Amino acid sequence: MLAKLWVIKIGGNIIDHPEGLSRFLERFSYLKGNKILVHGGGKIATRIAADLGVEAKLVDGRRITDEAMLRIVTMVYAGLTNKQLVAKLQSHKCNAIGLSGADGNAIRAVKRPVKEIDYGLVGDILPNSVDAEAIATLLDHGFVPVFSAITHDGHGQLLNTNADTIAAALAVALSDRYTTSLVYCFEKPGVLRDINDEASVIPQIRAGEFEQLRSSGIIADGMVPKLHNAFEAIAKGVAEVCIGHADDVLLLREQQFGTRMIR
């Protein structure tokens, strides 16, 4: 029987709130067994860019990453934010190690092709781009990898890469070695049947139900690509994908955490 692995992603809505972040990190540290934390950058990079006179450019909520912005997001994501998370986890006796995709050649990516929009120095992850053996070696030696949203192309170029995508790629790549659960933590208790009612959590969604929920408008907007990626990860070997509130992360063990997507 394969050992259990949790790949847990937190976004800016957690990172930007110190009290909520501290609660999450403490509870994450209590989660037993193999685990990986993946994080985005929050609003810190945008604030620092403004201080430095660098304009933050967004199209449909997605950051355009030119050379100036890449320097900033690398400093913030792979530097300040990553090391703050690692230090706080160490204070909870959680032996975290901070990484970007370039460290140990852990995650390669390719620059996103220019189509209708030129996203600049943004990376897309291809199949077989994750060095699962190297990451498994860290896990098997008791380390907790903490990945920032920065990858590289293997030719010396760093790339800004979506943290949701990084988490899914890690979960898929390691699913041959572990029984892997991919977990997206955010500010809601799960996927809601009624967006205005936080008690309306849908506890479980199967692949066949996803299209029905989307066509009826229950699942819409930003939740659509998240669930699409979730079921794609499951199709590629991930045991389950969970979406729920960061404060509830310890409920993963009791299978009472948010919404579960399963085969």
Q: What are the tokens at 195? A: 């967006």
Report whether 53 belongs to an annotated binding site.
no
Tell me 95's DSSP state: -
- Domain encompassing residue 208: 3-262
The residue type of 196 is: N
Specify the pLDDT at position 254: 86
Is the pLDDT assigned to residue 103 strictly greater than 90? Answer: yes
Specify the pLDDT at position 57: 83
Is the pLDDT assigned to residue 242 strictly greater than 90? Answer: yes
Is the pLDDT assigned to residue 60 strictly greater than 80? Answer: no
Report whether 160 belongs to an annotated binding site.
yes
Mean pLDDT of the chain: 93
Is the pLDDT assigned to residue 110 strictly greater than 90? Answer: yes
Report whether 63 belongs to an annotated binding site.
yes
The angle, 0 to 180 degrees and rounded to 10, between the axes of the packed helices 132-140 and 163-173 is 80
Specify the pLDDT at position 12: 86
CATH value at residue 178: 3.40.1160.10
Report whether 41 belongs to an annotated binding site.
yes
Stretch 78-86: mean pLDDT? 97
CA nearest neighbour of 46 among 26, 19, 20, 16: 16
Stretch 219-242: mean pLDDT? 90
- Domain count of the fold of the chain: 1
